Amino acid sequence: MTSDLRSKLSSSTSVFGLKIWVLVGLIICMFIVVILGVLSFYLTFRKKFRRAEGSVPPVQTPKTSREIKEIKVNYASVINEKYGDGDLEKVLMQSENGDSSRSGSFNKAEKDSIVASQLEGGPKGSVSAYRPSPHLITAPSPLCGLPEFSRLGWGHWFTLRDLEIATNRFSKEKIIGEGGYGVVYRGELINGTPVAVKKVLNNLGQAEKEFRVEVEAIGHVRHKNLVRLLGYCIEGTHRMLVYEYVNNGNLEQWLHGAMCHYGHLTWEARMKVLIGTAKALAYLHEAIEPKVVHRDIKSSNILIDGEFNAKLSDFGLAKLLGSGKSHITTRVMGTFGYVAPEYANSGLLNEKSDVYSFGVVLLEAITGRDPVDYDRPASEVNLVEWLKMMVGSRRSEEVVDPNIEKRPSTSALKRALLTALRCVDPDSEKRPKMSQVTRMLESEEYPIPREDRRQRRKTGTSESNVQIENSDTDKSDNPDSSSETT
């Protein structure tokens, strides 16, 4: 029987004259190869599918952009030729018969005049900031309950699907802001945390390396007056940033827009917001390395939380600069009316550009006027020019926003106006640092703190202005002097 089987297997076939046992062996080998090929294809497809769902293509360089828009500025001069800065400060210092009472601290604002009462249908009127409880409870992390992993060494890495779920697939109803840089959506994470998701537009082109460096730098920044960047999404050509959600509008809305129907900010609330913004900028300019120049300081980028704390936002135009460095650019980025003249005219960028923009915001909060308003008479279109004209004409008391129910004291108004004038000085070298601006706004003893007067002597302030400031100090120090502000 065995010999019969061997003879049959050894017999030739019609397929190329191959023996049966050889043909059977070839068929088995081909079957094994097909099985292995199908298995390999399945594993490869499965791996690619998982990568598309939850990881970053390692070699893809998508086109992204951090730019908002390019503005071509035919910048009208903001210098009132009739009045120099020293003359304006002198007029402020020497105005007559002003109320010398000091403005009260913010904690003395009316406890019950808060936005919550307005939202619940309370009477309209001036809105004061909420006085926080002395027994604060530390809030849990907004990322609590989410998977703990990160791709860039900070924050949380979100998948595209995570953010689609959070924003109802980026529904139009979820849009809370948009511009040339991107679209911002209101979202809610799976742990219930409300967030703002900024979907970066990729129509202008931006290398992925620069994107990652910028995001890493801002992601490590922590300050109570900066909107916190919680995480990011880098998937395919998508680039998204996830920020904490600030639910009380922005300064522009409170001064000119949608939040006005809830009431008008009191002077104390405005100063609290501005001091918080000044502290945030001082931190970016002076406390970290490389320093961060925001480049787009304006009222709409100053968010306000439920206790009227400022939250500086939107770092889409931010520039990282080394210590003592400036940057020259041929593309002026920012918002017309807030851009410093030297930056608009020559492209010279440093932290003093932010100081100028902050000065414009300060004037905006004091007066309730837009930086540029073509609906006003020609002499009042530009806020900075108009303010200098009013101060030069000894009419500084008339510049206060008429919507402020309780007017600030004369000394508080002078202090704010002097600070703003120094911030918008046409000579960038004479503008104060933001840490000095913070002290100027917080001081209640003199219009300008002594240390800042010493600094101004070093930076070349005219002798007459120094004498004016010194005379004001002497009168304030002298117990026999009049209580009136000179």
CA distances from 153 to 163, 193, 219, 314, 321 (A): 20, 22, 9, 22, 22
Residues 6+ apart with CB under 8 A from 223: 279, 280, 283
**Residue 33 structure tokens:** 């190869």
Annotated catalytic residue within 162, 296, 354, 452: 296
CA distances from 74 to 71, 271, 330, 344, 452 (A): 9, 32, 14, 8, 34
Residues 6+ apart with CB under 8 A from 25: none
| Helix, strand, or coil (residue 311) | strand
**Residue 192 structure tokens:** 């219930």
Give yes or no for a contact between 441 and 415, defined as CB atoms under 8 angstroms apart: yes
Give yes or no for a contact between 414 and 485, defined as CB atoms under 8 angstroms apart: yes
Distance CA(167)–CA(175), nearest Å, equals: 9
Neighbours of 172 (CB within 10 A): 8
Neighbours of 432 (CB within 10 A): 22
Category of 246 on φ-ψ map: left (φ > 0), alpha (ψ -120 to 50) or beta: beta
Give yes or no for a contact between 332 and 68, defined as CB atoms under 8 angstroms apart: no
Residues 6+ apart with CB under 8 A from 230: 142, 143, 155, 156, 195, 242, 243, 244
| Helix, strand, or coil (residue 346) | helix
**Residue 159 structure tokens:** 């998948």
Q: Which of 357, 345, 348, 343 is nearest to 424 (CA)?
A: 357
Distance CA(411)–CA(374), nearest Å, equals: 31
Does residue 370 carry a catalytic annotation? Answer: no
Question: Is 199 labelled as part of a ligand binding site?
Answer: yes
Distance CA(276)–CA(226), nearest Å, equals: 9
Binding site for ATP, residues? 199
Residues that are catalytic: 296
